[in-house]
Amino acid sequence: MTSTAPLGLRERKKRAARRALADAALRIALERGLDQLRVEDIASEVGVSPRTFNNYFSSKEEAVCAFIVERQERVREALLARPADEPLWDAVVNASLTRFAEEDRPNREDVRRVRAMMKNGGLFGEMLRAYATVERVLADAIAERAGDHANPLHARLMAGIVQNASRIAFETWLNSDSDDEEFVSIFTGLLREAAAGMPALAASGAAR
């Protein structure tokens, strides 16, 4: 198991406050729409001042997208806590699935609302920045988990595969009639296939 220094009390409180503000921002945006979302409402929901909100986020758009990075931080922690003798791909797959605990599984209507909000240029830009951060966080965690001799380019490649598998699974699930459980199945299947070197695809090419 890779050891990580535990967070101090002050840092835990800061992360809890940031997460509470992010959760409130996303919840209000989904209920009312981005145009009706105000910093004052987010701060009031959490019981802090708008000034405190500004200590954590530069805009309401950044706060709405913060859940993406927050969930990836949990994946990072889960990955670094996996058993040391577990193969790296298995550790990455199992850690990635922590994003989809019972309370965090995607809701089709919420995903559709978020995608509709992406028409807002400011929110779209923040979403792109969040995904770039997410991939970097995962790549760093993979490199740390792999050890001192890990190739950082390979870690970035693996992180990119995980992110693309997540995107493809979301798009497939969103445009289907399958239930929420099916998303996790699609995502896991894509990662397992990538980890195995995509033998099914290679075999079909060889058959030609």
Q: Tell me, yes or no, whether 4 lies in a domain.
A: no
Report the alpha-carbon distance of residue 178 to residue 92 in Å, rounded. 25
- The terminus-to-terminus CA distance of the chain in angstroms comes to 44
For residue 12, what pLDDT is reported?
82
Q: What is the pLDDT of residues 64-102, one digit of tens each?
A: 999 888 888 889 999 999 999 999 999 999 998 887 765
Asked whether 137 and 156 are in contact (CB, 8 A), the reply is no
Q: Tell me, yes or no, whether 16 lies in a domain.
A: yes
Q: Which domain holds residue 26?
A: 9-199
Distances (CA, A) of 146 to 4, 63, 78: 14, 32, 14
Closest CA to 25 of 40, 13, 10: 40
Q: Tell me, yes or no, whether 159 lies in a domain.
A: yes
Helix axes 152-174, 108-117, angle to 10 degrees: 110
What's the length of the chain? 208
pTM (global) more than 0.95: no
User: How many domains does the chain fold into?
Assistant: 1
Report the alpha-carbon distance of residue 166 to residue 157 in Å, rounded. 14
Q: Tell me, yes or no, whether 68 lies in a domain.
A: yes
Q: Tell me, yes or no, whether 177 lies in a domain.
A: yes
Q: What is the pLDDT of residues 3-42, one digit of tens each?
A: 455 667 888 888 899 999 999 999 999 999 999 999 999 9
Give rounded-to-5 percent helix, strand, coil for the chain.
80, 0, 20
Say if residue 195's pLDDT is above 50: yes
For residue 182 the two structure tokens come to 């099916």
Identity of residue 52: T
Q: Tell me, yes or no, whether 206 lies in a domain.
A: no
Q: Nearest-5° angle of CA 98, CA 102, CA 104?
A: 65
Residues 6+ apart with CB under 8 A from 104: 71
Q: What is the CATH number of the domain that holds 119?
A: 1.10.357.10
Asked whether 41 and 76 are in contact (CB, 8 A), the reply is no
pLDDT band at residue 1 under the 50/70/90 scheme: very low
Q: Tell me, yes or no, whether 3 lies in a domain.
A: no
Q: In the chain, what percentage of residues exceed pLDDT 90?
A: 50
Q: Tell me, yes or no, whether 1 lies in a domain.
A: no
Closest CA to 52 of 63, 66, 37: 63
